[in-house]
Amino acid sequence: MTILRAGTATDVGQVRSNNQDSQLLVAGNSLYGVADGMGGHQGGEVASAIAVELTGQHATEPTLESLKQAVRLANRAIFEKAGSDRDLHGMGTTLVAIQLVASPDGDEVAWVNVGDSRVYLLRDDRLVQLSHDHSLVEDLVRDGQLTADEAAVHPQRNILTRALGIDLDVAVDGATVLPFTGDRFLLCSDGLFNEVSEDQMASVLRRLADPTEASEELVRLANEGGGRDNITVVVVEVVDDGGRAAAASAALADDPTRVLSAVPVVPITQPADEPLFAGSRSSLPNADDSFRSETDDPFANLDKARSRRITWRVLAFLLLLLVLAGATISAIGYSARNTYFVGFQGQTVALYRGKPGGVLWFDPKLVRVTKITRRDVPAALRPIITKGKDFSSRGAADRYLVNLRAQIGTTVNDAATTSTTVPATTTTAAPGGTTTTTSTIPAR
Residues in the site for Mg ion, rule: CB under 5 A? 36, 189-191, 229
**Closest by CA position to 111, among listed 277, 216, 211, 234:** 234
The dihedral sign for the CA sequence 94, 99, 103, 106: positive
Question: How far is Cα 234 from Cα 97, in angstroms, rounded to an integer?
Answer: 10
User: Is the Cβ of residue 153 or residue 253 nearer to Mg ion in the bound state?
Assistant: 153
Least distance CB 292 / Mg ion (angstroms) = 12
- Residue 15, number of CB atoms within 10 A of its CB: 15
Closest by CA to 180, choosing from 105, 255, 113, is 105
Task: Please state the φ and ψ torsions of residue 102, each to the nearest 5 degrees.
Answer: -100, 150
Q: Cβ of residue 38: shortest distance to Mg ion, in angstroms?
A: 8
Q: Which is nearer to Mg ion, 190 or 195 (CB)?
A: 190
In angstroms, the CA 184 to CA 252 distance is: 23
Of 176 and 194, which CB lies nearer to Mg ion in the complex structure? Answer: 194
Task: Tell me the closest approach of the beta carbon of residue 169 to Mg ion, in angstroms.
Answer: 24
Question: Is the Cβ of residue 90 or residue 191 nearer to Mg ion in the bound state?
Answer: 191
Looking at beta carbons only, is 20 or 75 nearer to Mg ion? Answer: 20
Q: C-beta of 94: minimal distance to Mg ion in Å? A: 8
Q: How far apart are CA 187 and CA 201, in angstroms?
A: 11
285-289's contacts with Cβ under 8 Å and 24+ in sequence apart are 285/40, 285/41, 286/16, 286/40, 286/44, 287/17, 288/15, 288/16, 288/17, 288/18, 289/16
Which is nearer to Mg ion, 216 or 229 (by Cβ)? Answer: 229
Exposed/middle/buried for residue 99 (C-beta within 10 Å: 0-12, 13-18, 19+): buried
Least separation in angstroms between CB 231 and Mg ion: 8
To the nearest whole angstrom, how small is the minimum distance from the Cβ of residue 51 to Mg ion? Answer: 13
Rounded Cα distance, 268 and 393, in Å: 74
The smaller minimum CB distance to Mg ion, of residues 176 and 282, is found at 282
Least separation in angstroms between residue 227's CB and Mg ion is 11
CB of 191 to Mg ion, least distance (A): 5
Give the nearer residue to Mg ion in terms of CB position, either 139 or 190. 190
In degrees, to the nearest 5, what angle opens at C-alpha 401 toward C-alphas 399 and 407?
105
Q: Which is nearer to Mg ion, 190 or 390 (CB)?
A: 190
Helix or strand (DSSP H, E) at 67? helix 64-84
Closest CB 281 distance from Mg ion, rounded Å: 6
- The conformation of residue 359, written as its DSSP 8-state character, comes to B
Report the nearest approach of Mg ion to the CB of residue 226 (Å).
13
The DSSP letter of residue 182 is T
Task: Report the sign of the C-alpha dihedral through residues 391, 396, 397, 401, in that order.
Answer: negative
**Quick one: 13 or 354, whose CB is closer to Mg ion?**
13
Q: Using CA atoms, how far apart are residues 382 and 143, in angstroms rounded to an integer?
A: 66
Distance, CA of 78 to CA of 101 (rounded, Å): 26
Q: How far is the CB of 149 from Mg ion (least distance, A)?
A: 20
List Cα–Cα distances, 154 to 54, 149, 159, 196, in angstroms.
33, 9, 10, 15
d(Cα 59, Cα 298) in Å, to the nearest integer? Answer: 31
When the beta carbons of 191 and 388 are compared against Mg ion, the nearer one is: 191
